[in-house]
Structure 1
Amino acid sequence: MRQAKIVTEAELKRVMAYLSTRRHALRDQTIFAVSFNAGLRAMEIAALKIEDVYTAEGGVREIIQLHTTKGDQPRRVFVNKRLNAALRRYYPTISVKKPCTALFPSQKGGHFSGNTIAQLFLEVYAACRIDGASSHSGRRTMITRLADQGISVHVLAAIAGHRNIAITQRYLTVNDALIARAVELA
């Protein structure tokens, strides 16, 4: 099976600039921020509810409790500073702030399906002419960047919600810069 493309920083900037021109710019930018900063799958993004991400007072939670995951195993997702900032910008745009409401409502006010979120990613990447990217690119990019910074595969597996590190290792790509840094440690 072909893996999703790892998106470069320049490509991500191009995506975010393109998203700023769309009708639901902040919503779409926040969806991408969740993908690239929390490593969530499309189905996990679609399943997020306001209460999962925000406190009753509207503050961003430090930890998001995911209930809908690929393996049906609840997991905790830590919110980094970049994602926190994106979620704080997004909160004022939410029209219905009931706890059980979808975090990312569709145009009709309902929630997106995982497939619809995946289609959004494909549409945006196509518009930005980024070949090989998919809804899994944010997740794979995040995990690979962390690995490149020396984060242990065991920690990466916990972040990704993988029970087996062999699954996590499939996300990782060895490159010349990583090898060069490694041999300098010897």
Structure 2
Amino acid sequence: MEQKMAQARTLSEDEIKMVLNYCRARRHCVRDRTILQLSFLAGLRVIEIAGLKIADVYEDTGKVRDSFVLAAEQTKGGFERRVFVGRKLNKALADYYPVIRKRKPETPLFQTQIGGAFSANTMCQLFLNIYSAAGLKGASSHSGRRTFITKLANSGVNVRVLAALAGHRSIVTTQRYIDVNEVQLARAVELV
């Protein structure tokens, strides 16, 4: 019998606020909040967040780009993809810029406590530590991504658009990320 791997937990708006508020007490508050926001507001994987360079996200003037491209080597699937920066993510990245403004554009967007680049594994550990310390059970580095996709699906975004935003080649993969919940079911019956 095939054993299913547990899916990352999808977070509610209250849980997202709780985690972001928890980060205010952390030593690297702005960095950690920005990392989480890239997960919640753009659906990025940890490998993608860890691979970002300053120049990927900011123009030479320090202005946040409206969108940026993840190179094939920065993604899980090995395919280049454009990431669109919405209003909330733009604000989070603008708030982060003073932390990194003196660094060279080709350096990692996020650095560990000792000043090196995050690996995907150390970024996963950061997510797990934050969620655990904030009191969220079952949340992982993939929770923000699942939350992003589910929130957009709940808002009626077409699954093909979701797949493109998530960088999935198949809508079947995207559909596995979407939690069916009572809100969706109640809205669905109102359409009849």
Bin the TM-score by the shorter chain: over 0.9
Alignment equivalent of 2:174, drawn from 159, 164, 168? 168
Where structure 2 has 5 or more consecutive residues not aligned to the other structure, the ranges are none
C-alpha displacement at 1:105, in angstroms? 1.2
Q: Percent identity?
A: 56
Residue matched to 2:84: 78
> Following superposition of structure 1 onto structure 2, how do residues 30-109 of structure 1 map, counting pairs within 5 Å?
30-67=34-71, 68-94=74-100, 96-109=102-115
Residue matched to 2:165: 159
Amino acid across the alignment from 1:116: T
Q: Give TM-score scaled by structure 1 length.
A: 0.97
Secondary structure (helix, strand or coil) at the match of 1:23 reads: coil
Deviation digits for residues 15-73 of structure 1, max 9, x if unmatched? 11110101110000000011100100011000000000000110000111111000111
> Following superposition of structure 1 onto structure 2, how do residues 91-170 of structure 1 map, counting pairs within 5 Å?
91-94=97-100, 96-170=102-176
CA–CA separation in structure 1 for the residues paired with 2:43 and 2:185: 24
Secondary structure (helix, strand or coil) at the match of 1:7 reads: coil
CA–CA separation in structure 2 for the residues paired with 1:95 and 1:153: 37
Where structure 1 has 5 or more consecutive residues not aligned to the other structure, the ranges are none
Deviation digits for residues 49-101 of structure 1, max 9, x if unmatched? 00000001100001111110001111000001000000000001115431110
Secondary structure (helix, strand or coil) at the match of 1:76 reads: strand
Residue matched to 2:17: 13
Task: Decide which moves more: 34-43 or 172-181.
Answer: 172-181
Preserved contact between residue 162 and residue 174 of structure 2 (Cα < 8 Å): yes
Alignment equivalent of 2:27, drawn from 12, 18, 23? 23
Amino acid across the alignment from 1:109: G
Preserved contact between residue 34 and residue 96 of structure 2 (Cα < 8 Å): yes
Amino acid across the alignment from 1:11: E
Amino acid across the alignment from 2:161: V
CA–CA separation in structure 1 for the residues paired with 2:17 and 2:155: 21
- Superposed CA RMSD: 0.9
Amino acid across the alignment from 1:102: P
Q: Give TM-score scaled by structure 2 length.
A: 0.94
